[in-house]
Amino acid sequence: MPEPILQLAGIARDFYDGRNLRRVLEKTDLDIYPGEFTILAGPSGSGKTTLLTIMGLILKPSEGSIAIRGRAITKMSESALASLRLHNYGFVFQLAELLPALSVMENIIVASGIQGRRVPAALRRRAEELLDGFGLADCINLRPLQLSGGQKQRVAIARALVNEPAVLLCDEPTSALDSESSAIVLDVLKKLSRDTNRAMIMVTHDPRVFPFADRLIKIENGAIVSDTRTIGQPLPGETH
């Protein structure tokens, strides 16, 4: 049995809506394993994005604890959490959210240098390889405004992968794309799902992604209502 890369124990989240404190995520226990492609599904407002942002160390839980590779991080400072995100996470947002002022290459490497460190040449090479792999080799010096929606989202995926993160979090990455762009991005995500070292967690409604997932977690009204390992797969690393 492999060690979970991410452990959520008794996680809950409350929001103050101006008048009342509202619980948007009920107490949740969840382990995420390396190599596992997990889908979070549920209706709008069910709490899946809240859970995703908590797993991404962006939102602090109101209750409970989080551990990464067994190390508790709940009491860490904002700066320490930012560094953890930088070195362990990759994010793909609903819209690509590329910085319009930067070129494609700069958008991909920006996170690596954002804490003041020099961006290593190896990272630029890796960014080039990723762009090449995504069919965007000619777009290195273009600005996001010069790209199509699908191209932007592939650049965003390259940005998320360039640091070789242990956890890749995707928030409905195809929902804002037309069907053609969506198909291209899905193709990229399918390939990524085969990576056995990285945990991939995706919030999505797109049924075309479901067959490629190892695990499907359904959330309703802030609580996990089902957690199934699809096609009866064993945990990554387990043998029958």
Query: Rounded distance, CA 128 to CA 208, Å?
Result: 29
Does 100 sit near other proteins (CB under 8 A)? yes
Per CB under 8 A, the list member of 86, 142, 216, 235 interacting with other proteins is 86
Does 97 sit near other proteins (CB under 8 A)? yes
Per CB under 8 A, the list member of 20, 21, 75, 78 interacting with other proteins is 78
Binding segment (CB under 8 A) for other proteins, from list 30-38, 83-91, 125-133, 217-225 = 83-91
Per CB under 8 A, the list member of 72, 99, 183, 225 interacting with other proteins is 99
CA distances from 191 to 125, 133, 188, 217, 228 (A): 20, 11, 5, 21, 22
3-state secondary structure at position 232:
helix
Rounded to 5°, angle at Cα 189 from 188 and 195: 105
Does 126 sit near other proteins (CB under 8 A)? no
Token pair recorded at residue 177: 């794309």
The minimum distance between CB 176 and other proteins, in angstroms, equals 9
What is the phi/psi pair of residue 20, to 5°?
-125, 155
Q: 139 to 198, contacts with other proteins by CB under 8 A? A: 159, 171-172
Looking at the Cβ atoms of 33 and 111, the one nearer to other proteins is 111
- Encoded one letter per residue, x for contact with other proteins by CB under 8 A and - for no contact, window 34-73 reads ---------------x--xx--x-xx--------------
CA distances from 16 to 43, 192, 239 (A): 21, 37, 46
Does 17 sit near other proteins (CB under 8 A)? no
Binding segment (CB under 8 A) for other proteins, from list 25-33, 82-90, 194-202, 219-227 = 82-90
Place of tokens 């509202």: 22
Give the DSSP letter of residue 211. Answer: G
